[in-house]
Amino acid sequence: MARKTGTQILSYRVVVEKEAYQDGSQVYVTQVPSLGISDYGGTIEEALAHTERLIKFHIESLVEEGEAVPVPDDIRNIIVTTSQVQISSAKKLAFA
């Protein structure tokens, strides 16, 4: 008798940042904070596709090793934003 297998949908927050190499070429870097993994790609779509495969591989590896899988992110409780502040132009800023 064949065993039915179900699937579970797990949601993890993925942060995408655009970075530039010294030669001026660009890459999109992804980070999955809850899992402590990251990947990259030449486009956002490529970076996200790589990251989805990495998330799946990472979770399947944890299961195979008998390790606990980090709790998926409750995306209803995540707010991502930026803040803009005004700094006097008289101040000399040194960026890292």
Q: Does residue 96 form part of some domain? A: no
Cα 13 to Cα 31: distance, rounded to the nearest angstrom: 8
Neighbours of 14 (CB within 10 A): 20
**Residue 20 located in a structural domain:** yes
Give me the residue label for tokens 């090793």: 65
Query: Could you tell me if residue 94 is inside a domain?
Result: no
Q: Are strands 26-32 and 15-20 parallel, antiparallel or unpaired?
A: antiparallel
Is residue 43 situated within a structural domain?
Answer: yes
Number of structural domains, the chain? Answer: 1
Is 82 domain-assigned?
no
Note down the domain range covering 68: 15-77
Six-digit token pair at 80?
Answer: 């991502």
Query: What pLDDT tens digit does each residue of the chain (96 aa) get?
Result: 455 678 888 999 999 999 998 898 999 999 999 999 999 999 999 999 999 999 999 999 999 999 999 998 887 888 888 899 888 877 777 776
As to burial, measured by CB atoms within 10 angstroms (0-12 exposed, 13-18 middle, 19+ buried), residue 76 is exposed
In a domain, 95, yes or no: no
